[in-house]
Structure 1
């Protein structure tokens, strides 16, 4: 089933605001903290303090680098002394970013997503790197997301995580045995139970001149995944073509 609403239900204390360029506001109980990529914060209550630190240690930082995230993350904690709740609001880095809120406990505590899509998380959610085997004659290990890269992001743990896609973002749920073929660049992320096969376009001419990208992904159920209509790779390609015409 396809849903144009990427966030069917939202966890308690999480609110997504806006339409074209969204932000997410997250409540923080006394002592509770949230991790976020640098530069994502829009505003926060006065009882929330920001600290930049190496989340999870050196190896975890290296894993984040492979997945397209910074070595260091910003940590926002409610340090108020009066016992009142705090809040923080964050936004994506690109114009037109839409925010997807993931309840990790309802998604099997593991979710795979496109490079650079992570925005923030709270609870025990950790960010790592994963690679996907491309099915085809070349047999390369490659994952195509916002850019051509070997690695994608792997979110694991309990709690809430937010990722971002661009353009129109849809939520798709596949039942066991159901499959869908999509432009690999359009994949924002998918539940770990989803089968994912990356394949090269059968025709070199179609890959070079068809405008659909070099790869497509075959997704199989059961599970949930999200698609975006304006991935960064497609936008960059459009800007390049416009530049060539202008010259």
Structure 2
């Protein structure tokens, strides 16, 4: 399997497959493909894991595209302005924001991952249900906006708006912290909670907070009457 990233604003990953190789994506994730590929949709891992994927922002069914000839080409495109992050799951185990999974080889399994503290997810907005990438092979993740990487040392802490946390290595601990001070909560414009990430490990941040982005669009839509 070979791949190349295409585009800058709303990018895509174009994959060239050898005969017998396959790629999987959530339902509707394919952008274009050449002849020589067959499609099979299934609930990979059974119904329970399929429902778990739904909670983590993906579809119940995964679409699997298998090459029936050499050098079959298939592309998967991002849905919002941003980046595509290639991840070798054999070497790097990541916890990702819900909806980050774009596509992967069929040897990769995206599954639901829960934070250790229920309060973290209950109050953290997007934090409670995350995705974990397991297995082996290449996966491609969809980043909202630009990607910023931070390497945290042991005990090093970053506090981030929840919507700007994209992914982090499993060695990084994760919890929700309350913003102190009633005036800060009411007038600071940053909400009530922040995500606290503690090293060691690599953290991936995204410059676009999709919830704020869609909120601004919604507020600009004229109301009826």
TM-score over 0.5 (shorter chain): yes
List alignment gaps of at least 5 residues for structure 1: 1-11
Preserved contact between residue 97 and residue 126 of structure 2 (Cα < 8 Å): no
Q: Equivalences for 1:114-153 in 2 at 5 Å?
A: 114-133=97-116, 140-142=119-121, 148=126, 150-153=128-131
The answer (yes or no) to whether the contact 2:15–2:75 under 8 Å persists in 1 is yes
Q: Helix, strand or coil for the counterpart of 2:119?
A: coil
Aligned Cα root-mean-square deviation (Å): 2.4
Q: 1:180 to 1:90 in 2, by over 3 A?
A: same
Q: What is the CA deviation profile of residues 79-134 of structure 1, one whole-angstrom value per residue up to 9, with x for unaligned ones? A: 12xxx22221111222x132111111221xx3111111111111421121112245
* Residue aligning to 1:157: 135
Structure 1 222/244 Cα, relative in aligned 2: closer, same or farther at 3 Å?
A: farther
Secondary structure of 2:189's counterpart equals coil
* Deviation (angstroms), 1:162: 1.1
Query: What is the CA-CA distance between 1:141 and the residue it aligns to?
Result: 4.1
Q: Counterpart in 2 of 1:88?
A: 74
Contact 2:126-2:163 within 8 A present in 1 as well: no
Runs of 4+ with deviation above 4 angstroms: none
**5+ unaligned residues in a row in structure 2: which ranges?**
none
Structure 2 partner of 1:35:
24
* 1:164 Cα offset (Å): 0.9
Of 222, 228, 236, 2:200 maps to 222
Kept in 2, the 8 Å contact 1:41–1:90? The answer is yes
Does residue 206 of structure 1 match 2:184? yes
